[in-house]
Amino acid sequence: MSSSKPAPIAIVGGGPCGLTLARLLERAGIDYVVFERDVSPQGTARFQGGTLDLSAEGGQAALNAAGLSAEFEKLARYESSTIFIQDWQGKNQLSEGGGESDRPEIDRLQLRQILLDSIPAHRVRWNKSLSSVERINAKKTQTQSKSSSPADWLLHFNDGSTESGFRLIVGSDGGWSKLRQLITSAKPQYSGKMFIEGCISLDNPEWDAAFKMVGAGNSIAMGNGLSLAVQQMSDRSYRVYMGVEASPEFTRPGGDADVNDMPKARETINRLYSNWAPHLRGFVAGAEGPWRPWLLHRMNQEIYLPDALRNDGKVDEKSWTRTPGVVLLGDAAHVTTPNGEGVNDAMNDAKLLFEHITAELANDAGQVYDAEIDSATLERAIVAYEGQMRPHAYEMIQDSINFEDMMYKEDGPQRMQVLFHSKEEQNEASKKH
Ligand SMILES: Cc1cc2nc3c(=O)[nH]c(=O)nc-3n(C[C@H](O)[C@H](O)[C@H](O)COP(=O)(O)OP(=O)(O)OC[C@H]3O[C@@H](n4cnc5c(N)ncnc54)[C@H](O)[C@@H]3O)c2cc1C
């Protein structure tokens, strides 16, 4: 069936990345709809993770392109960008960032709200969890053309509903993306490390100690195979992240730190940190439940190599296939273990894709709308976007592997200082060019 105007773009996942793209499309007058798993904007408020620092060239640049810098500045916590670093014995202390730092913090839910407030409410379909994707028109595509078009895909949701007939399908559905399988069979791999998240509320006896050590910023302690991050949120409570190396079963029912059995989990975790400096141990012992485990996963770096660099030429779990009409952004495209860049890269992906889409559409301006020509136009934009996204993803995954290694080692503080300074130098150099 042909149409005289383009169908909407489907954005699956309303996280920082999907909503940034939604806002950019909104401003450009391009039709779209967001399908989001959460039941409402507050859906999983307790566990949206801690605060996010937005870099000038990442999250802040994306918000600027989206016309949202002023809204961000109202909530940005520049005073929170100091990070206090020490080893597990409380030695080798140092502070980085702060002052003129261009990486202010914002709570994840606040960032989401800024983006949601910037688009009409009807654009987001809540409680729409994508469960699978089915190829329709398979016969047509097999006989007439080898490639698919976005209209060939039927989206199935957990509530039993289906949706189809889109102009483009964007997968911004996070690390466990249901759309990724259309591009690669690779899945995120468990790094062997996890964070267990707890909280220190304002009435917690440990709050004063946290305030004295961390203030409005962040802190990280590391060594002896463990790490401990304490960071202040906008309501002045603290999030505590206990970083342990363990199998995924560790925090699951029956595991040594089963988070559904808090006394057992506490006993195990207190024992792990028992030889840490007393002031650090106190935050572990005082971290309020319920605790939330974040198993840290990352994609295999090799899938981001240019095809030419793959010396075996096989299509396997390391392959990245262009599936016309489908594009991945953010964690769906390249989830990494935390290195402080995840949200910045995700929002930058949205900006990058949008720039390529609008540049390509501008070339077709003035022509009568034709669905096939439009698909080819969007495909050129996606190819250009992936040409930039994939090499960057390769670098970021390497960066996160280095970061991960450092986070649990005795010499972590010194290595982190070197890393911060080399990043500062890189930023200075890129500003000069
Ligand atoms: C413990 C932890 C701490 C972190 N700290 C930082 C940090 O300090 N700085 C930083 O830059 N990054 C940090 N990150 C990484 C950062 O959170 C992610 O890189 C970033 O959120 C990616 O954004 P996204 O929009 O691509 O995906 P997400 O934020 O994961 O958003 C995906 C959205 O899609 C929705 N969704 C998922 N599945 C479906 C489905 N099937 N159907 C419909 N909707 C779906 C989700 O509900 C969600 O709204 C951290 C990550 C972790 C685990």
Q: Please give the pLDDT value at position 1.
A: 47
Nearest CA to ligand 1 atom 38: 173
36 lines ligand 1 (CB under 6 A): yes
In this structure, how many other beta carbons lie within 10 angstroms of the beta carbon of residue 144? 8
Is 431 a residue whose pLDDT tops 80?
no
**pLDDT by residue (tens digit) across 282-321?**
999 999 999 999 999 999 999 998 875 666 667 677 789 8
Return the pLDDT at 407: 85
Fold of 189-298: D-Amino Acid Oxidase; Chain A, domain 2 (3.30.9)
Q: How far does the centroid of ligand 1 lie from the alpha carbon of residue 306, in Å?
A: 26
Task: Quote the ligand 1 centre to 51 CA distance (angstroms).
Answer: 12
252 C-beta neighbours (distance < 10 Å), count: 14
Return the residue whose CA atom lies nearest to atom 9 of ligand 1.
340
12 ligand 1 Cβ < 6 A: yes
Per-residue pLDDT at 148: 66
Q: What pLDDT was estimated at residue 80?
A: 82
Model confidence pLDDT, tens digit, residues 220-229: 999 989 999 9
Residue 376 has pLDDT above 90, yes or no: yes
User: 294: CA distance to ligand 1 center in Å?
Assistant: 11
pLDDT > 90 fraction of the chain, expressed in percent and rounded: 71
15 Cβ inside 6 Å of ligand 1: yes
Question: What pLDDT score does 316 carry?
Answer: 76
Give residue 124's pLDDT band: very low, low, confident or very high (50, 70, 90): very high
| pLDDT score of 111 | 95
Q: Is the predicted pLDDT of residue 66 greater than 50, yes or no?
A: yes
How is the chain split into domains, by residue range? 9-77+102-188+299-408, 189-298
CATH of domain 9-77+102-188+299-408: 3.50.50.60
Residue in 44, 158, 241, 343 to alter for ligand 1 test, most ligand atoms within 8 A of Cβ: 343
The pLDDT assigned to 46 comes to 47
The residues near 55 (Cβ < 8 Å, ≥ 6 apart) are 102, 103, 341, 344
**Is the model's pTM score more than 0.85?**
yes
Return the minimum-mean-pLDDT range out of 12-21, 74-83, 108-117, 303-312: 303-312
- Please give the number of the atom of ligand 1 that sits closest to the Cα of 175: 30
Q: What are phi and psi for residue 92, nearest 5 degrees?
A: 55, 45
